[in-house]
Homo-oligomer: A and B are copies of this chain.
Amino acid sequence: MQSCRFAFAVHVMAVLASEKSDCCPSSRLAQTVNTNPVVIRRLLIELQEAGLISTFRGPQGGAVLKRKPEKVTLREIHRAVHQGNIFGTHPHQPSQECPVGKRISQVMQRIQHRANRALERELERMTLADVLRDLRKG
């Protein structure tokens, strides 16, 4: 992967967490992330679908956290903006003649699963509150 969406998402969530209770419009979030408001709004939709934030239209609209920072893990943020698998799979079916080719996909799937689990386990150990603390500590 080489997508900055997770970095953007953590950034946005951290801003929302530090600006308690007030709605924050995509324009302001875009400014601190240094990107376009539409990029932020696309991200907000995913965070919303994951149940992490709410958004409101109209004047004084914007985004707010739905949960306290201590209750939001980085795993949830990651899952909101990334789909499952870390590694890619064979783009074409391997040779079914070769004993390795015949079974490699199954085996890779197990490896994939273990790797995903390990990553998620680690991300689950960090919350948005931890991020806020680290931001303050420098």
Known contacts A4-B90, A7-B104, A99-B135; 13 additional CB pairs below 8 A are A1-B87, A5-B88, A7-B88, A10-B107, A11-B104, A15-B100, A18-B99, A18-B100, A32-B97, A33-B90, A106-B134, A111-B126, A115-B119
How many residues from A make CB contacts under 8 Å with B? 54
A118 contacts the other chain (CB 8 A): yes
Chain B contacts for A108, CB-based, 8 A: 7, 10-11
Chain B contacts for A11, CB-based, 8 A: 90, 94, 100-101, 104, 108
A93 contacts the other chain (CB 8 A): yes
Give min CB distance, A122 to chain B, whole Å. Answer: 4
